[in-house]
Amino acid sequence: MITRSVPRDPDAPDPGLFGPSSVTWHLHADPAMWIGGISALHLQALHPVAALGIVQNSSFEDDPFGRLTGTGSFIVATTWGTREQAERAGARVRLVHERLRIRDPETGAVHRVDAPDLLLWVHCALVRSNLHAVLRGGLDLSARQADRYVREQRQVAALVGLASGDAPGSVADLEDYLCGMRPVLAATAEAMAIHRFVARPPLHGLHRSMRPAWTVASRLGYSLMPSWARESYGQPGIPAPVANTALRAVRSAAFLIPRAKRLDFPVPVLSQAVARLGKSSIPSGRRLSEQTRRP
């Protein structure tokens, strides 16, 4: 259930769920987030029921970028949108999920897509992937800020139908949850199909030119997963020092893209937030770094 905040001044600009003083506001603008999103796809697929759900209810084979951009649009709306925009985004996700079912072809069991255990797995895999992508990409984030980010993401968990307190509230809690899930996880046939697809999706027309960039991004995303996850797939990935160096290079290159284009993809919600809240609200990794260095 979603809990609403204390009523605010109706004349004050709406900061949304988080606002410029949050870690989420700045962290989600980091270019490494897109690598984190790809990493999350690989990791999420290791849950056998989640993988079945993706295969049975997703158009990922027909639309290689649909799931990634769909997740990106949701993150943008919940990070920088007004509270109303964030709640509408959450309502759309809940509406889609409540209609879908997952059928296990071996046991005949039927699972709800919005089952709390599945929602929690998808949430935690995404939060972990995002956080590790920006940290290994070079964002200067303190341990306290990392914990705060995980705790802030409880609000997003509530939007998709979880009780916010059910989601981890610290990095340690997040890692404990992931470790506890290891006996459940496996590289099933569905997981391997998703993994292969994410590694090399069919690209047609103008999208063919994206093949080299996508190959690099997918390999980096895969390599950011925990070692036990990569062992499940049977592929070691890129060695950590090489992956970190490559990710930092990709992140630096992304900063060369004009900020207006980079931060308003896939939907122009951030520019609306800046217009609403002022230029001081422009996300900045430097601001997080300055907070890290304060005594």
Q: How does the average pLDDT of the chain come out, rounded?
A: 90
Strand partners, 103: 110
- 6 assigned to some structural domain: no
Residue 209: pLDDT over 60: yes
- Going by pLDDT thresholds of 50, 70 and 90, the confidence category of residue 63 is low
Query: What's residue 273's pLDDT?
Result: 94
- 1 assigned to some structural domain: no
Q: How many domains does the chain divide into?
A: 1
Q: What is the pLDDT of residues 70-99, one digit of tens each?
A: 788 899 999 999 999 999 999 999 999 999
Residue 20 DSSP label: T
Q: Which domain holds residue 123?
A: 23-293
Residue for token pair 């979603």: 2
Q: What one-letter code names the amino acid at 40?
A: A
Q: What one-letter code names the amino acid at 265?
A: F
Which range is least confidently modeled, 158-172, 175-189, 190-204, 243-257?
190-204
- 9 assigned to some structural domain: no
- DSSP H helices in the chain: 23-27, 33-44, 48-57, 66-80, 83-99, 116-136, 143-152, 154-159, 171-181, 189-199, 211-223, 227-233, 240-254, 259-263, 269-277, 285-293
Query: What's residue 3's pLDDT?
Result: 38
Q: What one-letter code names the amino acid at 166?
A: D
- 237 assigned to some structural domain: yes
Q: What is the pLDDT of residues 97-144, one digit of tens each?
A: 999 999 999 999 999 999 999 999 999 999 999 999 999 999 999 999
- Going by pLDDT thresholds of 50, 70 and 90, the confidence category of residue 292 is low
- Going by pLDDT thresholds of 50, 70 and 90, the confidence category of residue 259 is confident
- 4 assigned to some structural domain: no
- 55 assigned to some structural domain: yes
**19: region left, alpha or beta (phi > 0 left; psi from -120 to 50 alpha):** left
Query: What's residue 211's pLDDT?
Result: 82
Would you mind telling me the total number of residues written for the chain in this entry?
295
- 7 assigned to some structural domain: no
